[in-house]
Amino acid sequence: MTALLASLASAAFYGAADFLGGLASRRAHTIIVVAIAQLSGFVALGLVLPFLPPSAPTHHDWIWGAAAGLTGGIGVALLYRALAMGSMAIVAPITAVCAVTVPVAVSIALGERPGIGTISGIGLAIIAIVLVSRQRVPDGDDGAARSVRMRAAGTAFGSGVAIGLFFLALAQTKADAGMWPLVAARGLSSAMFVALALARQGSLRMPARVAATVILCGVLDILANVLYLIASRHGPLSVVVTLSSLYPASTVLLARFVLGERLSGSQAFGVACALSAVMLIVGTR
């Protein structure tokens, strides 16, 4: 029950963080948004560490934490870029389906033989990606607009792969390590993106309201990471990572009620297929 609740809660917070990050990326440079979000999450984690039980991370935990920081940072940067370019209700499901498929593919490569239900879920996920990627072309739409939509979908796919690797890396850490693997992960990603932002933009400045949105995004994201890490230590990875990948639900709901984004019939069916795919994979693992 702990793993189930923590996974679902992490999905809700991931989705809210993605919504805020995508929104901010439409008003400021993506690299700066990611840098400040990662840094604010790192600071928030540092503030609560003194109140957590003692832990003893090993060299193994630090390495996997750093790997999670690298893949997770890249995944988030690509996701925010995709959210800034395309519809949130389309980008989020593509990313989530890819993120949940990666751990399944790795399990197969390592010798695990999934049942027919899991294989069906992967097939349904592929169909979902095709459906949610289809967008109605508005009258007068030009090649440049179509190109932007295609780039958004491709960026979302890359983001999903990186996030799937993040889930895998973080789950390799041990319970005795406490939250220190997240410290390694967020410390590396913060340093990486702050350095990149300063090198490319020369400053981390942005409007105060946008900065507040980004800071909240970073705090919600690190909270989601903490909940995912707890869940991965109390339940099967295949179930935990799939439930955590349901985050598009909150992203899509926020985009619908805050931004008024709408889906076509085929896209709505694609979103339903995406969510059905992850639930089918969970139910047969």
Q: Is-above-0.85 flag for pTM?
A: no
Q: At residue 211, does pLDDT exceed 80? A: yes
Which of 262-269's residues contact partners 24+ apart within 8 Å by CB, and which partners? 263/89, 263/90, 264/134, 264/135, 264/136, 266/131, 266/134, 267/89, 267/90, 267/131, 267/132, 267/134, 267/135, 269/131
List for the chain the helix, strand, coil content (%; round to 5).
80, 0, 20
> Cα separation of 128 and 263, whole Å?
14
Query: Once rounded to an integer, what is the mean pLDDT over residues 50-75?
Result: 93
Size of the chain in residues? 285
Please tell me the predicted confidence (pLDDT) of residue 138: 53
Query: Once rounded to an integer, what is the mean pLDDT over residues 211-221?
Result: 96
For 140-172, give the DSSP string: T--HHHHHHHHHHHHHHHHHHHHHHHHHHHHHT
Please tell me the predicted confidence (pLDDT) of residue 134: 60
Going 191 to 197 to 200 to 202, the CA torsion angle's sign is negative
Q: Calculate the alpha carbon distances from 270 to 77, 148, 179 in Å.
A: 24, 20, 36
Q: Which residue type does 233 have?
A: R
Instruction: For residue range 233-245, list pLDDT tens digits in order.
Output: 888 777 788 788 8
Q: Is 245 helix (H, G, I), strand (E, B) or coil?
A: coil
- The pair of structure tokens assigned to 256 is 């619908």
Instruction: For residue range 128-155, list pLDDT tens digits in order.
Output: 766 765 655 555 555 666 677 678 888 8
Please tell me the predicted confidence (pLDDT) of residue 57: 93
- The pair of structure tokens assigned to 196 is 């990149």
Q: At residue 74, does pLDDT exceed 70? A: yes
Q: At what angle do helices 265-283 and 116-133 cross, to 10 degrees?
A: 160
Going 153 to 78 to 41 to 98, the CA torsion angle's sign is positive
